[in-house]
Amino acid sequence: MEQRINELDYLKSIFILLMVAFHLVYIGDNYPYSKQIVYTFHMSGFLIISGYLAVDSTGKSIRSFARKLLWIIIPYAVMETGYVIASCILPVREAVTEITPAILLSKIFVSPLGPYWYLHTLIICSLIQYCVFHWLRMKTLSRLIVFGLALFAISCCGGLIVFANAIYFLAGTIIKQCKLPFTRVIPPSLPAVVPLVVLCCFPDNLDRGTLAGVVITYLSVSTLLYIHNYLPRLIRQYFYFIGRNTLVILLFSPVFTIISKAFLPFLLFEPTGMLFMVISVVFAIGGCIAIAWTMDKLRLSRFFFGKDVILNRQ
């Protein structure tokens, strides 16, 4: 079993909770500036952590790595297909006018809809990272340069990934190659709040593809790690649990964010929308965990995730 890093599970939980919250259309529409801020750092932070952890897979055999990647591709392809079909049927913003094999293949392999772009980017970046670090016999710096150039080429020529996203995966890889703990490279810091707030006051900075976006991501992670140190133990354990199960939450949460629209008419008496957000996020997280638990009990996880048990309790 892979050793867990509590701080990373905590960060992943915060990022996934923010993802669910701002995928609620009502919240995104009513708090557009907050959405801009969150979108600047939450998935960027996720990709840094992904690049950091993915390095451990580069030492595995080709068969072992391929099996691990396959069981990300399968649930990704299934859920992306379902999302595309739903986008054709339901009145959503990312509407698809018709469903054809060509459109489905395009969405799965080239330009996915919904939150599944993250898994699409993760799959491609992980594959390139494995090829570079497993097969090339070079010094670490040379391999990092080759990896960065390969990501740039794929983003420019193939258009399969957005380089602004891939650069964060590369950053996570670099941090891992520093042979230092994650929290030494991005240390917890309370003073980080000051420049973070200043940067977030200017809309032009709210883009993860800019230098300001990189700094905001760094400062956000640093601030969140500082907060982590002062959380009660019980609260931490809840965050760790969510962080250990971000894959199932990312996969299944769109189902529940769509259903949660039904709650809205009954909660409009609370004008800020915060009550709706809290109830919807709890509903979505609980629903995703319930699906994972049910799949484990029915022994379906082995067919969908390649594991007998997908719900990670510890």
pLDDT at res. 1: 45
Domain membership of residue 181 (yes or no) is yes
pLDDT band (50, 70, 90) for residue 86: confident
Three-state SS at 296: helix
User: What local confidence, expressed as pLDDT, does residue 96 receive?
Assistant: 75
Task: For 38-49, write each residue's pLDDT tens digit.
Answer: 999 999 999 999
CA of residue 243 relative to chain centroid, distance = 11
Q: Is 310 within the bounds of a domain?
A: no
In which domain, by residue range, is 181 found? 6-304
Is residue 183 in some structural domain?
yes
How far CA 72 is from CA of 11, 65, 75, 98, 286, in Å, comes to 21, 11, 6, 27, 22
| Percent of all residues in the chain with a pLDDT value above 90, rounded to a whole number | 78
Burial class (CB within 10 angstroms; exposed 0-12, middle 13-18, buried 19+) of 13: buried
What's the pLDDT tens digit per position in 116-160? 999 999 999 999 999 999 898 889 899 999 999 999 999 988 778
Number of domains in the chain: 1
> For the range 308-314, what are the long-range contacts, defined as Cβ-Cβ under 8 Å and sequence gap of 24 or more?
310/247, 310/248, 311/245, 311/248, 312/241, 312/244, 312/245, 313/241, 313/244, 314/244
146-159 burial, b if ≥16 CB within 10 A, otherwise e? bbbebbeebbeeee
Residue 167 falls inside a structural domain? yes
CA 219 to chain CA centroid, Å, is: 18
User: Is 120 within the bounds of a domain?
Assistant: yes
Q: Tell me what the mean pLDDT of segment 7-12 comes to.
A: 96
Model pLDDT for residues 149-166, shown as the tens digit of each residue: 999 999 988 778 999 999
Q: Which residues of 290-308 are buried (b: 16+ CB within 10 A; e: fewer)?
A: ebbbebbeeeebeebbeee
Whether residue 312 lies inside any domain: the answer is: no
How does pLDDT run across 189-213, given as a tens digit for each residue? 999 999 999 999 999 999 999 999 9
| pLDDT above 90 for 58 | no
Q: What whole-number distance in Å separates Cα of residue 309 and Cα of residue 152?
A: 37
Q: How many residues does the chain have?
A: 314
| Residue 59 included in any domain | yes
Q: Is residue 313 part of a domain?
A: no
Per residue in 275-305, pLDDT tens? 999 999 999 999 999 999 999 999 999 999 9
If you compute the radius of gyration of the chain from its CA atoms, what whole number of angstroms results? 19
